[in-house]
Amino acid sequence: MSEEDGGYRTLESRVAYENPWIEVRESRIIRPDGEPGLFGVLHPRHPASFVVALGDDDEVVLIETFRYTTQRWSIEIPAGNTDGEDPLVAARRELAEETGLVASSWTPLGSYDSLNGMAAAPEFAFLARGLSRAEDDGASHRREEGIRAVRREPWSAVMAMIRDGEIRDAQSITPLMLAALHLGRVR
């Protein structure tokens, strides 16, 4: 074991479950303390892209969608799987599909690892500005995805929604915080 692998050693690894979107690997390991262990890691097939869409009026575009995993409605920013596309191409697609909007200006905000204690799930965040209506309003995609509303909220209200626990999705909160840093709203 070395510093490079954090003291973990993999003895055996197998695919425990897979479908077209994810793979779950189960590994028998030796932990850093020298004891045996078992580790399951979720591997999405492709990274995801997240969009902080900010209007000229300083309002953030949010969606409301039902999350089967948590069995509750969730307020989030537009996002989705890259499906093997370039992350910016996927971000543009997701913004149009989920909100019926396009943007004239795109700024990469960075990449990060989501749920890194149990998943190898890289994600990319973008700031989209210069918003206008897309040719396709995205209504059929929103129905398919269970998106019940697209809304615009002032930046300050979105920050309060995070603080108050109304926005609970960490995959939305991270890009919003990256956007706040980029825009100089926090240091």
Residue 1 falls within a domain, yes or no?
no
**pLDDT tens per residue across span 40-92:** 999 999 999 999 999 999 999 999 999 999 999 999 999 999 999 999 999 99
Tokens representing residue 148 in the block: 């019940």
Dihedral-angle region of residue 178 (phi above 0 means left; psi in -120 to 50 means alpha; beta otherwise): alpha
With CA atoms as reference, report the closest residue to 63 among 147, 129, 145: 147
User: Are the beta carbons of 167 and 173 closer than 8 angstroms?
Assistant: yes
In this prediction, residue 2 carries a pLDDT of 53
34 and 122 in a single domain? The answer is no
Would the CA dihedral through 160, 154, 113, 100 be positive or negative?
positive
Dihedral-angle region of residue 41 (phi above 0 means left; psi in -120 to 50 means alpha; beta otherwise): beta
Residue 164 falls within a domain, yes or no?
yes
27 and 84 in a single domain? The answer is no
Residue 56 falls within a domain, yes or no?
yes
Residue 187 falls within a domain, yes or no?
no
CA dist., res. 183 & res. 128, Å (int): 12
Residue 177 falls within a domain, yes or no?
yes
110 and 30 in a single domain? The answer is no
25 and 102 in a single domain? The answer is no
Beta bridge partners of 128: 53, 106
Expressed as residue numbers, the domain containing 95 is 48-182
In this prediction, residue 60 carries a pLDDT of 98
Residue 2 falls within a domain, yes or no?
no
59 and 36 in a single domain? The answer is no
Beta bridge partners of 102: 132
Strands (E), 56-100: 59-67, 72-76, 79-81
56 and 18 in a single domain? The answer is no
38 and 68 in a single domain? The answer is no
At residue 3 the predicted structure's pLDDT band, cuts being 50, 70 and 90, is: low
Residue 159 falls within a domain, yes or no?
yes
In whole angstroms, how far apart are CA 10 and each of 14, 119, 136, 173?
Answer: 11, 16, 49, 33
